C-alpha cells in the first residue's frame, strides 16, 4: 500500500482548509489535511457514512480565506477506520484532480505557494 501513497505527481503541503464536495445533487463538508497540484486528502473519522468510493467523480470547492478553487476530482483512495492502512494514516478520502480550468489552477497554485512560503497550515 505504501507505494500508492508515495507515488504522487506533485509534492504535498500540509493544510487545514474547508472543502465542499458534491456528487450529483448532494453536498458534503470536509476538512483537508494535505494538498498538492494534483490532488488532496479529505479527513473524516466516518468515511463509511459517505457514499464515496474509489472511482467516484465529485465536484469540489476548496476554500481559502476569501477565495475558492473549484475542480472535478475522482476518488482514488479510501482509508476506512479499522483497516490496516488506518493504523498508519488518517481515515478519509484521497482525491485526484481530473479537471480544473486555468483561473482555478492559478488560485490553487497561489494557495500552495503561500503554504510553502509561510511554512505551515493557513
What is the mean pLDDT, run by run of 10 residues, along the chain of 122 residues?
A: 46 86 88 91 84 93 88 93 76 94 95 80 44
For the domain 2-113, what is the CATH superfamily, name and number? predicted glycosyltransferase like domains (2.40.10.220)
Question: CA–CA separation, 29 vs 103, rounded Å?
Answer: 23
Whole-number Cα distances in Å, 36 to 33, 46, 79, 84, 91: 11, 23, 18, 25, 18
pLDDT of residue 90: 79
Q: What residues pair up with 95 in beta bridges, in sequence order? A: 40, 75
pTM: 0.82
pLDDT of residue 87: 76
- Please answer whether residues 59 and 72 qualify as being in contact, where contact means their C-beta atoms are separated by less than 8 angstroms: yes
Question: CA–CA separation, 94 vs 96, rounded Å?
Answer: 7
Amino acid at each position: 500500500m505504501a507505494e500508492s501513497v508515495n507515488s504522487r505527481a506533485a509534492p504535498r503541503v500540509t493544510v487545514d482548509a474547508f472543502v465542499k464536495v458534491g456528487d450529483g445533487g448532494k453536498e458534503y463538508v470536509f476538512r483537508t489535511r494535505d494538498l498538492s497540484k494534483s490532488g488532496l486528502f479529505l479527513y473524516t473519522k466516518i468515511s463509511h457514512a459517505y457514499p464515496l468510493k474509489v472511482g467516484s467523480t465529485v465536484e469540489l470547492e476548496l476554500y481559502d480565506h476569501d477565495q475558492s478553487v473549484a475542480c472535478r476530482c475522482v476518488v482514488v483512495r479510501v482509508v476506512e477506520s479499522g483497516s490496516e492502512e488506518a493504523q498508519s494514516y488518517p481515515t478519509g478520502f484521497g482525491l485526484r484532480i481530473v479537471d480544473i480550468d486555468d483561473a482555478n489552477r492559478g488560485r490553487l497554485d497561489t494557495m500552495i505557494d503561500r503554504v510553502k512560503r509561510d511554512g505551515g497550515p493557513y
